[in-house]
Structure 1
């Protein structure tokens, strides 16, 4: 009999787990209170990359080091999944260079120092999530959208599935991949998941196609081109409390873009406020819920970057029964006695 897995949350992480588990032969049900990719996944800047040689090493480094290889695997295996492999230009870092002007000819003042990370890229996280869900379904997974999980099914002291208004489904393992909603889902099980919402802004601008060619990071902004010349900019949250204040933040960023790039043809299209799920120590939380057999958690930042590697390793644990060494330091039980 196939391993029965219910995945709660159809953002990019939940979709990754559902795809990899179904592909590995699991009997998978993917459940979301809305549509796949409609939560915080849609608010992601979606820069994907691996640690650099000088970066600090922590318990997530082993997981992060393989993500670009897994992204290329997905690109080859998942129909319709695309990555924009344009590299990342880190302005103000590294050695003196004259190459920034070649990479980004529309910069008004090319940086004297810059690092170009050619292997990095970016994705449309909603399109990727939808492609993963389609691929998961092609391997037999079932999707239940617009279905809010109300409670866990419990039998003999262990989690044995989930239920919602008017129905339920049994499972050998329930994977909670619901981002910032995960703590509330797990609280009735007696587990306090150390995750809080971390707000951030994602801004969209109309601009001439090709104005930004790579993903550009300066001390003042992070910007990349999406489809049709539209620009995406990630910005910190500064306490905006209504649409007028979000628009004002967007207009301030528009002026910054015009000051940085040689054009005045930039128009603000919109600003979204997203609540990223941020573990208390900044490290992913992946593994069995302590003291609750049958429950498994998969919550992390950045979920977009880590999704293919995390999904693959979680599937190997739940379907293949093989503990992943890369996840050893990321278990939810860490720091508890």
Structure 2
């Protein structure tokens, strides 16, 4: 098939580029940052949910394939590691805890303590989801981009896309900070930047930006065994000796954000034994793309020259979406799994 340009080397764009290159497509991946996953992907908690959670619109149709697609990626890419730890969630009181869904179990204090032996005060009950997993999102994006390159893709960093080049109603390619790149098809996987890139197309793309703050913390290896989500924070071990913490969003100064990160670290130390030596490595605020009705995946032009791929829960869904997009572009056949994800073309 003709050349494809993929815009954005976050987790979604990296997955699309990899799956296209693996199918033999001529792909150019453009990333405005100096490396893959320098944007919102790097600030993702990267909880791969197997059950529960809120799955609006077409996300409900896609998430059931997530674990199988991650297993496939592990077989294809030896440097991809999925941490299958399961998750524990609890609310402030037992009455507030949701009812377990398929693949979830309500467990008591002794079972919680067995799963998380460093908890100082295990709650009376929690929801355990054994199949839940986590991944290092930055490492995953790097592995996907490297594999795309090994399959022949061209990868260009420090290349910001300025605009689509459309002449007489037909796409010619993209204008970037480093020049023009011709393409028969452009896949826009640039998160909250996608609506601006589509302005001249009059596409109906309702994508809000939701701020999320993530902190990285040094910790004794194995301090946290599962993915823990409680009223004060969410935490998991992203790699040996390093935890990631979701920090409640605060408005105001950088000092207020720093204080929120330190407060969350203190909650961690109050919750887990052997955590006194934990230290804050850093924190960042990401602007997560939040399409109002679920994932937006599909063409936004009638001539099928511009394709968008924007979603929340992108870490969970990206391997599946990358596979399905590559299949659509290569075969020309719509993927039925994406039928509820389609944007409106004008």
Provide TM-score, normalisation by structure 2: 0.90
Q: Distance in 1 between the 2:185 and 2:55 partners? A: 34
Q: Any idea what the Cα deviations from partners look like across 1:281-330, whole Å, max 9, x if unmatched? A: 3x011000145641000000011111000000000111121211111011
Tell me how far 1:56 sits from its aligned partner.
7.1
CA RMSD of aligned residues (A): 1.9
The alignment status of 1:171 with 2:170, answered yes or no, reads: no
Q: Say if 2:132 is the partner of 1:120.
A: yes
Residues 87 and 119, structure 1, Cα contact 8 Å, conserved in 2 = yes
Q: Deviations over 1:18-53 (max 9, x none)?
A: 00011112111100111211111100011112234x
In the other structure, the counterpart of 1:66 is 65
Aligned residue for 1:42? 42
CA distance in 1, matches of 2:54, 2:205: 27
Equivalent residues of 1:189, 1:292 under 8 A apart: no
2:233, 2:75 → 1: CA distance?
A: 32
Residue 312 of structure 1: aligned partner: 323
CA shift, 1:89, in A, is: 1.4
The verdict on how the C-alpha distance between 1:306 and 1:56 changes in structure 2, with shifts beyond 3 A counting, is closer
1:140 corresponds, among 140, 146, 152, to 152
8 Å contact from structure 2 (residues 236, 243) kept in 1: yes
Mind listing any 5+ residue stretches in structure 1 that lack a counterpart? none
Q: Does 1:289 align with 2:288?
A: no
Match of 1:91 in 2: 90
Return the offset for 1:153.
2.2
Name 1:255's counterpart in structure 2: 266
C-alpha contact (below 8 Å) 1:216/1:223 kept by paired residues? yes
Q: More displaced, 269-278 or 123-132?
A: 269-278
Partner secondary structure for residue 322 of structure 1: coil
The question of 1:201 aligning with 2:201 is answered no
| Runs of 4+ residues deviating >6 angstroms | 54-57
Task: Tell me, in whole angstroms, the C-alpha distance in 1 between the residues paired with 2:308 and 2:26.
Answer: 18
Instruction: Indicate if the aligned counterparts of 1:162 and 1:170 stay in contact, CA closer than 8 A.
Output: yes
Aligned counterparts of 2:54 and 2:257: Cα–Cα separation in 1: 33
List runs of 5+ in structure 2 lacking aligned partners. Answer: 92-96, 101-105
Match of 2:238 in 1: 226
Number of equivalenced pairs: 331
